[in-house]
Structure 1
Amino acid sequence: MMLRRVKIIAASCVLSLGGMGSALAGQTYTKNADFDWGQLKGVDHAPPNDDQLQITLGDNPIPPPFMWVANFADGTVTKISTDTGGQVAKYHSVLMRNWDGSVPQGITLPIPGADCNSPSRTTVDGDDNAFVANRGFCTDSTTYTRATVTKFAGSLGYCVDRNGNGLIDTSRDVNGDGVIGREPPEFLGQADECILWTRNYAEKGDLGRSVAIDGDQNIWLGGYSSSKLWKLDGKTGALLQTIDLNAEKGTIANIYGLAVGPEGFIYTSDLTAKRLRKIDPKAPVGRRVVAEVGVSTPTYGLAVDRDGVAWLGSWADESPGRGGVLRVDFKTGKEEKILVSSSTDCTGLTRGVAVAGNGDIWVACYSTHKLLHFRRSRVTGSVFFNKSYATDSGTLGVTIDDHQRIWTSNYDTNSVTRVDPGAGRVQLSRPAGGIPYSYWDMSGYQYRNSTIRQGEWVVVQEGERLGAQWGTIHWNRESAGSVPAETAIEVSVQASDDSRALSSQPVFPVTRGVSFTGAGVTGRYLRVRAVLRTKNLTQSPVLSDLSIIPSWSWGESPAFMCEGTVDGTPPPHVQPCAIPQVGIIARWQGVHCRWLYENRSRIQSGNRDVERHRSSIHRQAAPYGDLAQ
């Protein structure tokens, strides 16, 4: 077994290392075989970049295996498994009172079949959490609702045990029929602990018809009438920035669709004035609208490809009797209509749009209830119509799942439909949960395709003791590790005495090299998730190594053994000395003293299991230099 070297800085300190280059009782992952004990999703260690992880930039995005469908008439959002098509949870689209005691203004308790909040656009961030924009449709003199946004936890680890019962009380498919009922225990309404918060952003009468996430995981929302943009903190919902597009440009337009594309530019579609905009939110006031293109047709759904080209649905009956998709290049200021082959494919009224990782375009045609496929040539880059697929009636929205299958939400039939392009057929249709009106990024695929690129590595380590307190995680100590500008590596952990309960434990963000002992992260098993993310679509951060160092490796064990002593008590002249590389305390041992400890670490991943045993590992004191095993 090959072990790494560790440079000892202070001459009077000594540090013993265990197997795989780990610090004391810890574990280091640095070789291909080490990383393979974990689960790789959207990252690789492919040659020539062996023994490190980087984002697989040229591949298709891998969103979480769920889609979030807004049911406007019922005031709910349904979480649907893209593996089975079954409903796994359903939530109210607003919280009447937030868990922090704040009360959103201009909302009503959701009423099935007559909801005023009117949830519509959904999207998913890089931690798999979801957001819904509620339009706020009731604006009469006696009752009015305002536009709001609500955040939902994408996994139990982001939910919060508000009532302190030791459980996460949340919606779930109790009877396993793939449909969430309207009553407990399947549906908990306002008591659901996975609804995180609801925030206001627009004024009365300014409908909220758009939501998107930027590369920093903050959310952008548009006011339909005002053409204002609001930037909210993706974690807390706090207001960070407001941009008045009409005032910036001196022209009038509406915001119907919203997307964040490469380099952080924001794009908007317009149903009425037919003005499309490209916005730089970091530019000085008055110069943020960097381009405006007038188009010939009202535009509906919006998606942006990796080149910053916008693709839009056309909300019109096309005069040739053939519908299609609108391509708008803001660099040239030109639009191009790409039409289907015949009116049997689509006569017009195209709505949701999605761009695949290979550049193909998928469009919902409402007039003929079909999903349209426009293929991109791998040679010339040109886009042309390929074929259509018949879906359930009312084809409205389009999204792509983690297996590159295409989904539609179908308004008229309260359903979702899955198409497998590889097989060239419609695979299934399932109930959506209450008149879906979602047509934007329901799975988070578009965010991972053209706003950022992202991958993750997850590993579970066993500490072989119940209630273990974990200590520190280090990464990128090797020179190959790098985090260039516009990239990031984020590490988080979950711990439990039961490996089956790890996913339901609170997610704790970890700071590189900073101990989290005492922060409540305790348990025999530790789940570590390292996310690699980049806003530069052509460059990845590099994770060269990651070390998990449990607290007992420097506090509870090892035993300090000196010749001539019985209990290991050091002689009076021994002085403490800090070892900054690993954040532990060692002691000058004298010539005949040594560390003595025993450690077993078990690493689990899927159905693979390995146990590494290290016993009585020791080093005699050295005045300085490298210690290696």
Structure 2
Amino acid sequence: MSRAWLSRVGALVLLSGVFGCAADRSGLAIGDGGARDGQFDGGFMCPEGTFDLDGDGRCECTFSSDVESCDGIDNDCDPSTPDGASDPTVGRPCDGDDADRCEDGAFVCAAAGFACEEPTDNDAELCDGVEDDDCDGVIDEGCSCTGDDTRSCGSDEGECSRGLQRCVGGVFSSCEGGQGPVDEVCNALDDDCDGRSDEALAAGCWVDGDGDSYAMAGAASQCAPAGGCPGGFTSRRPSSGAQDCNDGAMGINPGASETCDLVDQDCDGRIDEGVTSPCGGCTPGCAGEAWGEPFEPTDELAVTSSGELTLPREVVEAGDVWVANSADGTLTRIDAERALEVGRFHTGGTEPSRVVVDWRGDAWVANREFDGVGSVRRIASEPERCVDADGDGLETSTDSRVLDEDECAGPLIAVGELDEVPRALAVDGNVGPDGGGPGDLWVGLHDGEAVLHVDGLTGAVLARYELPGFSPYAASFDPWGALWMISRDGYLAQINRVAGEIVVDVREVPLPCYLLYGLDVDREGRVLVTGFSCDRVTTFDPATQRWSTVSTPPSVRGAVIDDATGTAFVAHTDGRVSQLRVDPLALEATWDLSAMGVAPLGSIGVGFDAFGRVWVASENGSASGGVATRLDPNEGQVTAQVPVGQSPHTQGDLTGAKRTERFAPSGTVTRVFRGCPTLDDAPSPDTEWLRLHALLDPGAYGTVILEGRHATTEAGLAAATFEELARFPGSTSPIALTFPTGGVVELRLTLEVDGAIGAPRVRRLGLEQSCPGPE
């Protein structure tokens, strides 16, 4: 303790002993004049070196030095001197975090110790990339750019081109140069630079393939440019009554005049209306009586939607679904009613895909065999057509297990040559004299550009027909016996057998894209095809030569038609199925096949069973791989999900929908022709019976027999005998008649078919007559 301090303490003691405590008016235990109070206000003294500074009876301050250091402690126990007031460091010059160009500051005592306090520099920060102008320790803060910086701006999409932005005052300028987006106009250019051309503009031009100023229903469209529609388009909207029915024939459209040639020139769905001769044909000046404009159905004969007379049909039950498991080389059989797999069979080759059911209910499957020779195999659906080879009882699969030697799997039949790839299967109506045969198999060789005729009983290849430039992808027979096939590049082939030879007629399908995929034919002979890459379904009616097209959800693939209702069903790759009305063609509904915890994907094949349900085979969806989904179209509900094998790339008639109807073997109808008119309505004695005119198609397996008998009166016909006048095929119309003059003639028309399909159709019959003129 220094002497100065001791003397000071002694003085305090003396003063306190003589005068008592100094007045504490500050409340800080400091007497007037700032002296320290070394004792309590009650008269008690603090221990030596301690002081009560706030008068609370505690000696909280301990004197340590007269030098007030910057350490957060009251070293001299004098509240009137701030912390660090006499510290030698305080006030010394210092430089903080800013750049050296800024002015130095001085150390100050702060709560956390010494701090360098610098003067504020009010210079604005320059975006120069060099100095900290505002001395805040950061260079060019808040600058978007510096100096002569530039950058590209805008877009080079569509009609746009990129420009340039320059650095001005630390901010990039607006985009200079280049071309920005503008409102879209009809010019086939991407004016608004969004990657699309002429989008959201109203349609004003429709595809007109034949240049007759009429477009088909569902034709592709575009907006109308300022200079009018380009070539190949028409500005006439294809509304009802103004729709072309054949965009490949300029003389066929709603504005054309009907001529007598078995073609619907005016696109009204009727043929030769109002232009046939009185005797029923197209012979100018022919007089007589016509029969069949239109025909009426009878107890033994039916009438088509085009008014043609034909044979009625009988229902054939079909209760199985067949799914080719492409990755496994197997064929699954499903009981449609129980939704249960009741057999799985080796197909004998690789990449099985196409399936068709014959007239006995057996299934044919084609192995595509991409690196070899394709093959087909038939799986018997009934035990009597299986072969117990070793005599120890029939061994065949009854569930998902595959037998190496299944006795219901027929022999493997090679079709075509190396790499010809069978991709189309169809069964014809050749069921034999007793009607109990299976029908023959027709195999389209995709890469071989040919079709094979295979005996449905023996498997022998009966004939090969070359189709140069046409690659069969799907096939189906129509009710009249014509074979229809598609090629994926947009062509439809019609194949008819005439006098033991085939006649091929190939048409281009009027779709705005190619990659045809699915095919089916309805009970009237209308052909339906799917356009996979343009999301369209198209129908073609051979009777009227009429095409129709409708848009569908994306990726439309397999197709099947329910003949009982005229409804078609098409599968979509994304696990959906759509329902369409065939005539007139229209999309009616689309359903998602996801249900029961299963989400099918890669949906391809579609079928229609005998119980009115739709089946769709999808490549993914079950733990085992593929799945067959059953849908009730009346309720729009999935009713079953049946696991199948790996990657079922199934196409064709997987449920036997094409054999649900077969024609009755025969039917007969008669008609009396009364000859020239008379005043009393009695038979004219002067009628000359000249010729019989017949407009008909005997069909692939059909026969048309025309017989006649003559009598003086209608009552006398019963005693007359019919004689054959003509038989088709074989006869040629018109047929000369030898009946006596006058009286009446009765014709008997008989239709027969020696097959399940291929029945005849009769459009018109007429008797040409000569009547006496006025005297």
Q: What's the TM-score once normalised by structure 1's chain length?
A: 0.52
Q: Distance in 2 between the 1:301 and 1:335 partners?
A: 16
1:157 is paired with a residue whose SS is helix
Q: 1:245 to 1:333 in 2, by over 3 A?
A: farther
Give the superposition deviation at 1:229.
0.7
Give the superposition deviation at 1:366.
2.6
Within the candidate set 349, 359, 362, 1:129 is matched to: 362
Aligned pairs for 1:132-211 (under 5 A) are 132-137=365-370, 139=371, 145-165=372-392, 167-173=393-399, 180-181=400-401, 187-189=402-404, 191-211=405-425
Q: Distance in 2 between the 1:350 and 1:401 partners?
A: 20
Aligned pairs for 1:9-158 (under 5 A) are 61-94=315-348, 117-137=350-370, 139=371, 145-158=372-385
2:580 is paired with a residue whose SS is strand
Check the 8 A contact 2:571/2:616 in 1, yes or no: no
- Opposite residue 526 of structure 2, the aligned amino acid is V
Q: 1:424 to 1:533 in 2, by over 3 A?
A: farther
**Higher normalized contact order (CA 8 Å, seq sep 6+, divided by chain length):** 1
Aligned pairs for 1:528-547 (under 5 A) are 534-536=756-758
Within the candidate set 650, 654, 664, 1:442 is matched to: 654
- Opposite residue 486 of structure 2, the aligned amino acid is S
Aligned pairs for 1:262-277 (under 5 A) are 262-272=479-489, 274-277=490-493
Q: 1:367 to 1:68 in 2, by over 3 A?
A: closer
Q: Distance in 1 between the 2:664 and 2:579 partners?
A: 26
Q: Distance in 2 between the 1:292 and 1:485 partners?
A: 21
1:89-117 Cα deviation digits (max 9, x unpaired): 011001xxxxxxxxxxxx5xxxxxxxxx2
Q: Which residue is equivalent to 1:281?
A: 497
2:516 aligned with 1:290: no
Check the 8 A contact 1:62/1:445 in 2, yes or no: no
Check the 8 A contact 1:231/1:239 in 2, yes or no: yes
Q: Which residue is equivalent to 1:461?
A: none
Give the superposition deviation at 1:360.
3.1
Identity of aligned residues (%): 26
1:64-111 Cα deviation digits (max 9, x unpaired): 2111110010000011110122110011001xxxxxxxxxxxx5xxxx
Within the candidate set 380, 383, 406, 2:585 is matched to: 383
2:497 is paired with a residue whose SS is coil
Check the 8 A contact 2:573/2:601 in 1, yes or no: no
- Opposite residue 205 of structure 1, the aligned amino acid is D
1:154-191 Cα deviation digits (max 9, x unpaired): 111110110111x1111113xxxxxx13xxxxx212x1
Aligned pairs for 1:124-523 (under 5 A) are 124-137=357-370, 139=371, 145-165=372-392, 167-173=393-399, 180-181=400-401, 187-189=402-404, 191-216=405-430, 217-246=439-468, 252-272=469-489, 274-282=490-498, 285=501, 288-296=503-511, 297-316=514-533, 318=534, 323-331=535-543, 333=545, 335-340=547-552, 346-347=553-554, 349-376=555-582, 381-391=583-593, 392-413=600-621, 414-449=626-661, 452-453=662-663, 486=701
Aligned residues: 353
1:296-345 Cα deviation digits (max 9, x unpaired): 332111101122221012120x3xxxx341212345555322124xxxxx
Give the superposition deviation at 1:57.
8.0
Bigger CA radius of gyration? 2
Give the superposition deviation at 1:203.
0.9
Q: Distance in 2 between the 1:424 and 1:374 partners?
A: 13
Q: 1:60 to 1:371 in 2, by over 3 A?
A: farther
Give the superposition deviation at 1:404.
1.6
1:394 is paired with a residue whose SS is strand
Give the superposition deviation at 1:280.
0.8
Q: Distance in 1 between the 2:458 and 2:335 partners?
A: 27
Check the 8 A contact 1:277/1:291 in 2, yes or no: yes
- Opposite residue 280 of structure 1, the aligned amino acid is N
Q: Distance in 2 between the 1:338 and 1:453 partners?
A: 31
1:203 is paired with a residue whose SS is strand
Give the superposition deviation at 1:234.
0.5
1:516-562 Cα deviation digits (max 9, x unpaired): xxxxxxxxxxxxxxxx96325589xxxxxxxxxxxxxxxxxxxxxxx
Give the superposition deviation at 1:383.
2.5
Q: Distance in 2 between the 1:211 and 1:254 partners?
A: 13
Check the 8 A contact 2:446/2:471 in 1, yes or no: yes
Q: Distance in 1 between the 2:487 and 2:567 partners?
A: 20
1:375-432 Cα deviation digits (max 9, x unpaired): 25xxxx4131111111122221111111121111112221011111223322111102
Q: Distance in 1 between the 2:315 and 2:456 partners?
A: 21
1:481-518 Cα deviation digits (max 9, x unpaired): xxx99489xxxxxxxxxxxxxxxxxxxxxxxxxxxxxx
1:343-376 Cα deviation digits (max 9, x unpaired): xxx12x2111111123534333434321100125
Could you tell me which runs of 5 or more consecutive residues in structure 1 were left unpaired when the two chains were aligned. 1-46, 50-55, 95-106, 108-116, 140-144, 174-179, 182-186, 247-251, 341-345, 456-483, 489-531, 540-629
Check the 8 A contact 1:158/1:194 in 2, yes or no: yes
Q: 1:118 to 1:454 in 2, by over 3 A?
A: farther
Check the 8 A contact 1:63/1:445 in 2, yes or no: no
Check the 8 A contact 1:362/1:398 in 2, yes or no: no
1:121 is paired with a residue whose SS is strand
Give the superposition deviation at 1:281.
2.9
Q: Distance in 2 between the 1:69 and 1:234 partners?
A: 20
Q: 1:400 to 1:57 in 2, by over 3 A?
A: farther
Check the 8 A contact 1:327/1:338 in 2, yes or no: no
Q: Which residue is equivalent to 2:183?
A: none
Check the 8 A contact 1:360/1:375 in 2, yes or no: yes
Q: Distance in 1 between the 2:646 and 2:518 partners?
A: 21
Q: Distance in 2 between the 1:210 and 1:403 partners?
A: 26
Q: 1:236 to 1:82 in 2, by over 3 A?
A: same
Check the 8 A contact 2:522/2:566 in 1, yes or no: no
Q: Distance in 2 between the 1:57 and 1:282 partners?
A: 21
Q: Distance in 1 between the 2:610 and 2:319 partners?
A: 6
- Opposite residue 429 of structure 1, the aligned amino acid is Q
Q: 1:357 to 1:71 in 2, by over 3 A?
A: same
Check the 8 A contact 1:292/1:330 in 2, yes or no: no
- Opposite residue 163 of structure 1, the aligned amino acid is D
- Opposite residue 365 of structure 2, the aligned amino acid is V
Could you tell me which runs of 5 or more consecutive residues in structure 2 were left unpaired when the two chains were aligned. 1-297, 301-309, 431-438, 594-599, 666-698, 704-753, 762-775
Q: Distance in 2 between the 1:404 and 1:224 partners?
A: 32
